[in-house]
Structure 1
Amino acid sequence: MDLHQHLKLMADYHRWAFDRLYAEVDRLSDADYRRDCGQFFRSVHGTLNHLLLVEHLWQARLAHTVFAASGLDAELETDRAALKRRLLDFATGWRAFVDALTPEQVAGDLAYVSLAGDAYELPYATLVLHVFNHATHHRGQVSIALVQLGQAAPVMDLPYFLNDLPRERLRG
């Protein structure tokens, strides 16, 4: 499997994992959904908002545009149902984004500026993978919050996703 094929696989996994996460998140009462569980972004809602913000931020950077954000904890969506729709739509959109990448983009670098104003230049494909890895990190935090709130933690491990795929998809 080449790197571009791996990016496509990870984009599909990204959406699959969000579907699994929301199957449990949707069971929370609104009070529990917004309860401060001691996470980086306090609540399940705050963490999911952060994920939406970062999806926007990185996709803008990767497309050589700018997404203005006041900080990583900015609330983009107050409404729970709207946040879910936007986050799942964004997660779905990564596959088309990755499909459209050229071999030169996948093999190249990306120059960008952080929210703190620091300039960086890093491998493009690695930054795409970072988006998916970052979401895995915060989906794990939401899983811990779910357990703290008396819910089941969803099974989102990559091998479960891979085991559901046709064998030919595993090899590209």
Structure 2
Amino acid sequence: MQTDLFPMLADYNRWMNGKLYDAAAQLPPGEVDRDRGAFFGSIHGTLEHLVVADTLWLKRFRSHPAGAGLAAIDAIVTPTALDQRQFGTLAEMRARRDLLDGLIVAWIGGLAAADLDTPLTYRRFNGEAHTKPVRPTLLHFFNHQTHHRGQTTTLLTQAGVDVGVTDLLVRVPEVEPKG
């Protein structure tokens, strides 16, 4: 995977998260927290899982030799469970989401091809150690977000809120045709 694809994925990630939080904010009070039978229960629970997982991954990426650009993540408490509830309101959670998305965009934009060739070593909650190549690990990071945003989009649609276009293709820049 080419280095230039990751900034596009980071941009798409920030754009889609903004769309989901804007859509969720349209719901009447209590509807964001209503258990809808999803894996993380509610819209709030699903969005919160993404904040938790992204925080964990950013802390892992912080330990990478190219992780200096993620220093701000040090000030955020490490979550202890993938379904941990940290925010009482959507607005509080969105502030953290916006912070994380800004970190992601800036960090990804500063990565060089050589950074992507340096493996990442990290530990899971259960203490299990892993060393993985960064490129596919970053791809997992973005794919995980897309997976759960898709779930959230379904929950929002079922609640009567249209999120609109969600395709990555919308964020792919146009080019001049050759010939």
Q: How many correspondences in the alignment?
A: 165
Cα pair distance change 1:161/1:100, threshold 3 Å: closer
Out of 145, 160, 167, the residue aligned to residue 175 of structure 2 is 167
Unaligned regions of 5+ residues in structure 2, if any? 65-73
- Match for residue 72 of structure 1? 82
Pick the structure with more helix per residue: 1
Map of 1:5-154 to 2, 5 A cutoff?
5-64=4-63, 68-154=78-164
The amino acid across from 1:25 in the alignment is A
Paired residues of 1:8 and 1:98 also in contact (CA < 8 A) = yes
For 1:120, what is the secondary structure of its paired residue? strand
For 2:122, what is the secondary structure of its paired residue? strand
The amino acid across from 1:167 in the alignment is V
TM score, norm. by length of structure 1: 0.87
Residue 61 of structure 1 and its aligned partner are, at CA, apart by 0.2
For 2:37, what is the secondary structure of its paired residue? coil
Paired residues of 2:36 and 2:42 also in contact (CA < 8 A) = yes
In the alignment, the residues of structure 2 paired with residue 47 and residue 77 of structure 1 have an alpha-carbon distance, to the nearest angstrom, of 12
Unaligned regions of 5+ residues in structure 1, if any? none
In the alignment, the residues of structure 1 paired with residue 20 and residue 151 of structure 2 have an alpha-carbon distance, to the nearest angstrom, of 11
For 1:34, what is the secondary structure of its paired residue? coil
Give the aligned CA root-mean-square deviation in angstroms.
Answer: 1.9
Task: Among all aligned residue pairs of Structure 1 and Structure 2, give the percentage whose two residues are the same amino acid.
Answer: 32
TM score, norm. by length of structure 2: 0.84
Q: What whole-Å deviation, never above 9, does each CA across 1:3-62 have from its counterpart, x for those lacking one?
A: 221111111111111122223111111211000011111011111111111111001101
Paired residues of 1:7 and 1:125 also in contact (CA < 8 A) = no
The amino acid across from 1:29 in the alignment is P
Out of 114, 138, 155, the residue aligned to residue 165 of structure 2 is 155
Cα pair distance change 1:15/1:143, threshold 3 Å: same
Paired residues of 1:21 and 1:154 also in contact (CA < 8 A) = no
The amino acid across from 2:2 in the alignment is L
For 2:120, what is the secondary structure of its paired residue? strand
Q: What whole-Å deviation, never above 9, does each CA across 1:82-118 have from its counterpart, x for those lacking one?
A: 1012112211221111122243221121111111221
Paired residues of 1:51 and 1:138 also in contact (CA < 8 A) = yes
Residue 75 of structure 1 and its aligned partner are, at CA, apart by 1.2
Cα pair distance change 1:89/1:154, threshold 3 Å: farther
